[in-house]
Amino acid sequence: MTDHGVAKDDFGAAEGALFAATLPSQPGPGRRSATSDSGESDKPYVMRISRLTVDKLGIKMYDRVAAVLAEVIANAYDADAENVTVSLPWGVFLASQPGHAPVGPYEITITDDGHGMTPEEVNRHYLTVGSDRRTRFGKDCSRDKSRPVMGRKGIGKLAPFGICETVEVITAGGDKTERGYRVAHLILSLNDILDDTESDYHPQPGEVNGTWAPSRGTTVKLRDFRRKRVPSGEELDKQLSARFGIQRTDWDVEIVNSLPILFEESFHLGQLKIDLLEATRMDVSDRFVMTDSGDRLPISGWLAYTRKPYKDSAMAGVRIFSRGKIVSQTRDFGIASGFHGEYSIRSYLVGEIHAEWLDEDEDLVRSDRQDIIWSSEYGEALARWGQDTIKELAKRGKTALNEQGWKDFEEASQLSVRLESDAPGDKKFQESVTAAAKLLVTNRDREALADKDHVEQIYQLAKNIGPHKSLLDALHSVSETSESALDIVVGLFEKARVAEMYSLGQVAHERIEVLNKLSALITDGATLERPLQELIEQAPWLLAPEWTPLGMNESLERVRRSFEVWYQKKTGTALVTSAINRQKKEPDFVLLHDSGTLWIVEIKRMNYHLTDAEYLRAVDYLSDLNQFLNDNPTLGNQFPVRKLTIVADHINRLSSVSKSSLNQDPRINVRGWHEILDDTERAHRDFLARVDDVRRTGGNGN
């Protein structure tokens, strides 16, 4: 995917296009060649093009601004440029929506100081699409600096048409004369290119075509955009940095905001900044990729874990480079599930791998340059190598991850200070609570440690279970077999009941009975709303381990009753929000809560098809609850977050508008009964089995 019009012997880079550069011949209607008064043709450039080529290899393949810029920048590199400047507006849509006020007009400009091209070279190289530039030039390095070139397949020049209609190229190259360097200036129009697929296409010469310039180099200008979004400066930095792995002193790319608000904004393309857990970093430069035929393929780079899981696709996973440009990005090298440390690998793995042999003799890079051909011999060998290496990293990294997670918890909870405050001088108590907390803080909790409520849950739970030695032993066993003991334990024990009301076996027995009851109701298939509502209110941990029913808390009971009174005054309609102690009334919905969050839970019978009217009514309930709490800040401040959960098995009868609302509003979700049962059983299975063993054998395993 490389080439833009930056003069180069390499104007080519992606694959399979069918342009044929020719001298003007048999011009089609409206495209006749002409001769100026000076005797020179006013259509000196010619391109023969298939509409399918531009559509499939330009418009369809490159539909993101960062991907287009990467192609043009790569061409500048192949043209031996040392300095590249990209100017574009940051954080805007390049075109307006139909029927809306116009934006812009915007322009993207890419300028480099590479070796440029003469008009003759433009025809011979730039307007030839789809031929292997390395074969055409008989070498795979650049003209002056012998850089391993990125371009190969000859279609990268089509990339700009993925976002715009007009591409203007101004390039000066060739040998220096007394007058300077000869300038080629041409303007390519996508509409004209696609206008007639049978005739040669003659790009329009620009006003400085045939003049002379004092220095070599190329400028590419993009105009007449489709509605594409330019990322913010920070996003653009990450997206572009992730695409290149070049480390040279003679290479610099500056990205400039053409719409600075208060001051000039720019950044220089560099290494992708990733917050690594340095203790897990594994250098792979001393390893080889072994093929089935016995070849030893060199590789370099590193793998590691991050301190926090990355949700940004540009940051996550292992980036694979060849000749300084990304050719693939993988989360796990296609490894199958079920290996030790799988969760950590899929959440925290990052890396940078360089494998030059992916783009040397045999082209193993896909046309869109976004992946390699994994089904090839070398691709399969690299996948095996990657899978073996990340398994090794998973084993090596477990200790480092646990240590970092514990450090994060100690800092977030201020553990030592709080324990001394809660139990001054009681070292035995402090040690037992610390030991319990260590069992509850696991790899999977690392991201959640940024949540103050989550940290507080761990601390309070550790205080309650720490002094109970037998329970602590059971938790230790759970931590050896489960990725997240906290997920299981919080759902099994209400803090006060562990220490004051129930033994381990009693709590476990209650949980098992509730799970069995839910399973029976779901298996029945014809269960109505009321028994399901009652079960959810009695055991809200079925939906989320930390939920508790409003009826079990006096202050929250006041919220519920106050809301019912407020709602009737507002609408004239009585509202029932709970089934607890109100057996003769059918509740409109159930209210549940955890710390700081209030849930409306609307429950439908098994196999129910949710309708638009019911969905909109539930959304209105959420809106009314918001208004009530905002109008009564004494109550509302206790619950800054308000959410809606609808339990229904089918949403196929919802309109597209309702489905769009559901997908876009993070406060609202719909869950099916089988999904709830499966999630709950999975969350409790391992611990319940252990508890059952402790109850039967006393923890001796006999």
User: Over the stretch 237-249, which tens digit does the pLDDT of each residue have?
Assistant: 999 998 888 878 8
Instruction: Tell me, letter by letter, the H, E, C secondary structure of 636-665.
Output: HCCCCEEEEEEECCECCCCCHHHHHHHHHC
Confirm if 506 and 695 have CB atoms less than 8 A apart: no
C-alpha closest to that of 556 among 530, 580, 583, 585: 580
**pLDDT confidence band for 38 (50 / 70 / 90):** very low
| Half-sphere exposure for 629 (CA within 13 Å, toward CB) | 22
Residue 473: C-alpha distances to residues 114, 426, 498, 504 (Å): 68, 21, 15, 12
The structural architecture, per CATH, of the domain 47-264 is 2-Layer Sandwich (3.30)
Q: H/E element holding 84?
A: strand 83-88
C-alpha closest to that of 641 among 630, 650, 652: 630
Give the tens place of pLDDT for each residue, 368-426: 556 788 888 999 999 999 999 998 888 887 778 788 888 888 988 999 999 888 888 87
Question: What are the tokens at 320?
Answer: 């694979």
Least confident of 101-105, 336-340, 373-377, 635-639: 336-340
Confirm if 518 and 647 have CB atoms less than 8 A apart: no
Confirm if 690 and 630 have CB atoms less than 8 A apart: no
Give the tens place of pLDDT for each residue, 418-460: 988 888 887 878 888 888 888 788 655 566 777 888 888 888 8
Q: Residue 157, by phi and psi: left (phi above 0), alpha (psi -120 to 50) or beta?
A: alpha
- Cβ neighbours of residue 697 closer than 8 Å, sequence gap 6 or more: none
Place of tokens 């393949």: 61
- CA-CA distance, 546 to 510, in Å (whole number)? 16
Give the tens place of pLDDT for each residue, 177-235: 999 999 999 999 988 887 755 677 889 999 999 999 999 999 999 999 999 999 999 99
| Half-sphere exposure for 359 (CA within 13 Å, toward CB) | 33
Antiparallel, parallel or unpaired: β 300-306 and 349-354 = antiparallel
105 cis-preceded (ω within 30 degrees of 0)? yes
Give the tens place of pLDDT for each residue, 106-142: 999 999 999 999 999 998 888 877 555 555 555 678 8
For residues 641-670, average pLDDT: 90
- CA-CA distance, 491 to 542, in Å (whole number)? 8
Domain coordinates in residue numbering, the chain: 47-264, 276-385, 414-502, 525-676
Q: What is the pLDDT of residue 136?
A: 55
Q: What is the pLDDT of residue 132?
A: 56
Q: What is the pLDDT of residue 298?
A: 95
Give the tens place of pLDDT for each residue, 307-318: 877 767 667 889
Angle at 62 between CA 61 and CA 66, to 5 degrees: 150
Q: Residue 352, by phi and psi: left (phi above 0), alpha (psi -120 to 50) or beta?
A: beta
Q: What is the pLDDT of residue 639?
A: 82
Q: What is the pLDDT of residue 213?
A: 96
Neighbours of 414 (CB within 10 A): 12
C-alpha closest to that of 17 among 147, 148, 161: 161
Which pTM does this prediction carry? 0.57
Neighbours of 278 (CB within 10 A): 10
Confirm if 643 and 667 have CB atoms less than 8 A apart: yes
Q: H/E element holding 15?
A: none
Burial of 401 from C-beta contacts in 10 A (0-12 / 13-18 / 19+) = buried
- CA-CA distance, 692 to 525, in Å (whole number)? 29
Confirm if 199 and 25 have CB atoms less than 8 A apart: no
**CATH level 3 topology of 525-676:** Trna Endonuclease; Chain: A, domain 1 (3.40.1350)
Confirm if 493 and 507 have CB atoms less than 8 A apart: yes
Rg of the chain, C-alpha, whole Å:
33
- CA-CA distance, 658 to 644, in Å (whole number)? 14
Q: What is the pLDDT of residue 399?
A: 79
Write the DSSP assignment of 485-553 as a string of letters: HHHHHHHH--HHHHHHT--HHHHHHHHHHHHHHHHHHHHHS---HHHHHHHHHH-GGGT-TT-EEGGG-
